[in-house]
């Protein structure tokens, strides 16, 4: 474990080097554990916890804590039991107007669109973390054979519910937002609802399956 | 439930006026950054001016201002940049009076604070508006009616010495600490001047200027991003992550604006020139402690004014 000051009010806790190969089940569990402990304990002065693939950024109030104190909290906060991971099935309308990049993904991977859909919906995914924007799940488990580079220029607006592939990752956009991933389909499922408790449908460790609708 | 009869009617919303408080911490693990006021220091002082807790919600005006009609007698105070209305002091308004603010003469944002605070329903513990995610409402529109909260206790409008104003002088370098990937960049960043791009918003302040050269290419695994982080995409044009920033990102970060200077970001206008000065963590802590000392002095001064 490596601790670095990312700013005067945040500490970056890393479980491995900053390279794509560090996306692993081991690191996912370490990140989930630290996030779960800090979120459950809510130590005084800890403002936010931003998990990622192999690191956790801990944002704190510098009038209450310093980097050393936050490091101590990361090491000493007691474990809490993890809840049983849920499996969430997400129905997807692949292709068509709401999946405008399916053909491009098929071309890039030298498959038919049907094969891309079969592979995308046949895999088991796990939520590494929610990040970027409210409720946005970073999923692991995309078959390597359908990995496709991001668009060279991001779209100004990706509609909420868009299911997309970006490099070796796949995900669902919870809200209208800019985005550079390739949109292969659309789901009516709402991933984020501020009035719901919890507001995000998926949590770290949730299992996800995409079902062709 | 009894509610205060106080209301503010939005006659002209101006460009991107929103309801803001000190933000929505505690949900970063759901992808929600804390957000809140773009210049939280001004909001805090504005609230003190009208006898509110520092955390109360107010109207954040951006560049053009706006006009607002009060449906009750109340006390208001403006804090932040000069929008052509008396700043850094509170004054009484009568029912039916209209307060027209703006456009900004200097800076970018001004807070219209009202005694009792703006009492829109909290979302995830905060009344602040996060525009990008649509959390807690949207930018104000003409015809919107904003409820005013019930003040905690009667108070005399205090006078406030604007000592903190000195720290918002334009043209001053913004102070930063080294970012988590600072070693990936070659020199030159701290000698360069950048212009704030028109394509800036509450998510990010885009800068234009000399290309910030990456010494090491190589990709960065997506990691947590902090408010005020200065990330540098491959084109070498830095982006300062602002209040509605993404919680994680994949661009290397050369530096991070110190906590004591975050409020300055909320006063930057398009085409403003910015420079950066590297300071140590210890210096950053000292500067924040000093700033908080002045805020505390003002707060205590205000309390005394209430008692006398």
Q: Which residues of A touch B30 (CB under 8 A)?
A: 130, 134-135, 192, 198-200
- pLDDT interval class at B296 (50, 70, 90): confident
Q: Which helix (H) or strand (E) holds A50?
A: strand A46-51
Residues 6+ apart with CB under 8 A from A97: none
The answer to whether the CB of B106 falls within 8 A of the CB of B171 is: no
Cβ A163 vs Cβ A183: under 8 Å = yes
Q: Which domains does chain A have, with CATH numbers?
A: 2-76 (3.30.1360.40), 87-212 (2.40.100.10)
pLDDT recorded at residue B91:
92
Name the pLDDT band for B1 (thresholds 50, 70, 90): very low
Find the closest chain B residue to A136 by CA distance.
B31
All residues at 6 or more sequence positions from B232 whose CB lies less than 8 Å from its CB, including other chains = B185, B212, B214, B238, B239, B251, B252, B253, B254
Give chain A's residues under pLDDT 70. Answer: none
Across residues B167-192, what is the average pLDDT? Answer: 86
pLDDT of residue B166: 47
Q: Which of B132, B223, B292 sits opposite A55 (nearest CB)?
A: B223
Cβ atoms B62, B109 nearer than 8 A? yes
**ipTM of model:** 0.93
Instruction: Say yes or no for a CB contact (<8 Å) between A132 and B30.
Output: no
- Taking the whole predicted model, whether its pTM rises above 0.90 is answered as yes
Task: Give the pLDDT band (50/70/90) at residue B286.
Answer: very high
Q: Do residues B73 and B93 touch, judged by C-beta distance below 8 A?
A: yes
Q: Tell me: the pLDDT tens digits for B85-111? A: 999 889 999 999 999 999 999 899 999
Task: Tell me the nearest-neighbour CA distance from B32 into chain A, angstroms.
Answer: 5
The residues near B283 (Cβ < 8 Å, ≥ 6 apart) are B175
The Cα B131–Cα B140 span in angstroms is 11
A160-201 pLDDT, tens per residue? 999 999 988 899 999 988 888 999 999 999 999 988 888 999
Contact A149, A165 (CB under 8 A): no
Cα gap B134→B29, rounded to integer Å: 18
Torsion of CA B220, B223, B225, B229, to 10 degrees: -30
Disruptive mutation site among B126, B221, B258, B280 for chain A (greatest number of A CBs within 10 Å): B221
């Amino acid at each position: 474990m490596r601790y670095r000051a990312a700013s005067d009010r945040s500490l970056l806790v890393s479980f491995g080097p900053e390279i794509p190969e560090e996306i692993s089940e081991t690191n996912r569990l370490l990140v989930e554990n630290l996030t779960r402990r800090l979120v459950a304990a809510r130590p005084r002065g800890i403002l936010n916890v931003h998990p990622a693939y192999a690191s956790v950024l801990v944002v704190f109030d510098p009038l209450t804590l310093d980097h050393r104190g936050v490091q101590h909290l990361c090491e000493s906060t007691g474990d809490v039991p993890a809840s049983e991971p849920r499996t969430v099935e997400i129905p997807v309308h692949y292709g068509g107007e709401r999946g405008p990049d399916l053909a491009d993904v098929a071309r890039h991977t030298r498959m038919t669109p049907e094969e891309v859909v079969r592979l995308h919906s046949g895999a088991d995914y796990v939520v590494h973390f929610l990040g970027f924007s409210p409720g946005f799940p970073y999923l692991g488990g995309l078959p390597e054979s359908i990995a496709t580079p991001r668009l060279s220029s991001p779209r100004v607006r990706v509609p909420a519910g868009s299911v997309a592939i970006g490099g070796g990752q796949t995900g669902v956009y919870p809200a209208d937002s800019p985005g550079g991933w390739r949109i292969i389909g659309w789901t009516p499922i709402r991933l984020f609802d501020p009035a719901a408790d919890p507001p995000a449908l998926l949590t770290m460790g949730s299992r996800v399956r995409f079902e062709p609708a | 439930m009894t509610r205060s009869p106080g209301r503010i009617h939005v006659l002209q919303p101006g460009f991107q006026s929103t309801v803001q408080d000190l933000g929505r911490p505690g949900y970063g693990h759901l992808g929600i950054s804390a957000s809140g006021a773009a210049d939280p220091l001004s909001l805090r002082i504005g609230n003190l001016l009208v006898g509110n807790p520092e955390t109360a919600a107010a109207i954040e005006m951006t560049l053009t201002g706006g006009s607002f009609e009060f449906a009750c007698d109340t006390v208001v105070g403006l804090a932040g940049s000069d929008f052509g209305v008396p700043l850094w002091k509170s004054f009484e308004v009568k029912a039916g009076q209209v307060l027209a603010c703006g456009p900004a003469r200097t800076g970018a944002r001004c807070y219209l604070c009202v005694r009792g605070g703006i009492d829109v329903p909290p979302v995830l513990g905060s009344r602040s508006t996060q525009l990008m995610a649509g959390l807690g409402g949207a930018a104000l529109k003409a015809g919107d009616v904003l409820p005013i909260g019930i003040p905690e206790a009667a108070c005399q409008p205090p006078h406030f010495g604007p000592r903190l104003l000195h720290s918002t002088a334009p043209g001053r370098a913004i102070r930063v600490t080294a970012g988590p990937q600072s070693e990936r960049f070659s020199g030159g960043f701290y000698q360069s001047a950048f212009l704030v791009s028109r394509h800036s918003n509450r998510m990010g302040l885009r800068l234009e200027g000399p290309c910030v050269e990456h010494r090491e290419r190589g990709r960065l695994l997506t990691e947590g991003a902090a408010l005020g982080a200065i990330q540098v995409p491959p084109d070498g044009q830095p982006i300062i992550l602002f209040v509605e920033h993404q919680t994680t990102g994949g661009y290397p970060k050369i530096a991070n604006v110190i906590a004591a200077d975050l409020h300055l970001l909320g006063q930057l206008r398009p085409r403003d020139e910015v420079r950066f000065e590297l300071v140590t963590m210890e210096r950053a802590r000292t500067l924040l402690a000093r700033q908080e000392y002045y805020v505390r002095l003002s707060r205590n001064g205000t309390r005394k004014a209430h008692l006398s």
